[in-house]
Structure 1
Amino acid sequence: MDRFTALQVFRHVAELNGFAAAGRRLGLSPAAVSKNIAELEAHVGARLINRTTRRMALTEEGRIYLEHVVRGLDAFSEADEALSPLRKGPSGTLRVSAPVTVTLTRLSAAIPRFLSRYPQITLNLHLDDRRVDLIQEGFDLAIRGSDSLEDTNLVARKLAAMPHVLCAAPSYFEANGRPRGPSDLKSHECVRFSLSGHADVWEFKKDGRTERIPVNTRYSVASSLAVRDALREGFGLSLMPYPYVEDDLREGRLQCALEDWSAVETTLYAIYPSRQHLAPKIQVFLAFLAEEFSRS
């Protein structure tokens, strides 16, 4: 028995005072109507409707049951209607987790434009470099950077790739010289971004060979912006995502080293729980992210 269908049949039979009328309203044959009522009575263990070939009437049990069935079915309808505005267009509260530096350097200035475009959306943007648990912490979406995305049941949409460059201030190179190969980094002051997937070992490639250099450091910090500030002050060198230091390199505050070697590349992803029944608010934010990161 499809219990939901049987409850609807029972309600319509009672309200329309007839099996045939209920069948016409629901698009069911008289036999199907009778079968649903019989199965419902068997399920509740009581006769709900007294009927003959000419007449029908609710029993006392039927009248009591009908009151509860009407309230329950109306509650289901109200629940569907409550979601209707959210299904029709982008609206509601959108909870997003994103890394601090990526957001501040590449995204935050564009957020007001997104909110102006979708006035029915409220955005709660949580800046945190740690890997949040989307389901447990109630986020709709997260932006996540990774050298290699771990196995996950979540959906991942690639947004951009960020190559890394080894860089330092001109004053640091003047005082300490430039490394001529990755192995030279063992004698340099390195600044370590502690949340990076390659925080402990920096990897460089050239002409088919790979060198992995353990990071010798006196300064570890859980902020790429703090790493950049240290470099600007001439304290050490570091392996940085290019977009974070692009302006500094162009304006001469920082300079690159080992440019003939390629370093690690971090890929940015938008992570969300499922492709099925994706809410419009998430769909438009994904489109916004794709648009913004394609610009940069």
Structure 2
Amino acid sequence: MLVYNESTGEIEERQEAGVPIKDGAVWICLNLEEHDRLPSFLEQTIHPHIKKKLFDLESIPTLAQLKNQLFFSLTAIGKDLTPINCTILVIENYVVTILKSNLFNLFSKIKESFIETPESMTNPFKILYHILNAFFMLYLQQVDTIADKFQDLEGQVFKWPFENDIARQVYRMKQHLHRFRQIIEPLDALITKMEDPDFPYKDEDISFYSQDLRNSYNRIVQALDQFSGSFDGIFNLQMSLKADHTNTIVKTLTLFSVIFIPMTFIAGLYGMNFKYMPELNWSFGYFYALILMFGVGALLAFYFYLKGWWGRSKKQK
């Protein structure tokens, strides 16, 4: 528990609070298994509905306000994009956070920042701001991770356009983006409430802090929208490259077929069993037929080359 002493302007770290603290601000950060460490006088004032949700870290993101009690849940994102939930309650000058052990590192950094700069914990609003800002920093790190993944997939498409795993990775990233959007969207309502001039835990610098959170939120949402279209573009690009390569193969086979059609015709013509075919009695009839067939094939191939249908002519280069 951290207590900001208004008279001294310093922060004290306490294990328990037996009586209510009226001056300053108090931040109580508890593990899910430490629900019995919640001060009894505070537990008695919490609304039963909010109390039930406070220790339910598996629920969907929620925002609720009853009289002077503000409750909401936040979801952090792990390195593998797994969601990690925590709940926050603001009641009078107290801020209570309930979290799982895998979020201790994040909240330890917040605690250190409060101890180093006591003025950042003068009231519940500032405590809320720094907690939310720490979560937004996590979200922005994930945005950078997704951007790196996008660039990696973009390079893979041109190296291995027929690799089916690329499409699978795109599909998985689209799923991650959808979950990310579900996590970030509920914060819009909370930031809107904090921007309200009638917000009960407001600070004299409320506009600055709320605008900073709003800018971070807008940046993340815009990035997610852009990523959604970008991953669709990677998938469509791979499909286009596959189709283009398939067209090249079909064109090559078609050109070979066109070249061999007249050669097949000539072979079939001289293969007919008519009695009077002068060329069959020529001494060089066989060589004549070969030269004729390969000559026609070479002329057709050269014609295709000049047209740019097979390779590229000097003019096109």
* TM-score, normalised with respect to structure 1: 0.21
Which one has a larger percent helix, Structure 1 or Structure 2? 2
Q: Larger RCO: Structure 1 or Structure 2 (Cα < 8 Å, ≥ 6 residues apart)?
A: 1
Which one has a larger percent strand, Structure 1 or Structure 2? 1
Structure number with greater Rg is 2
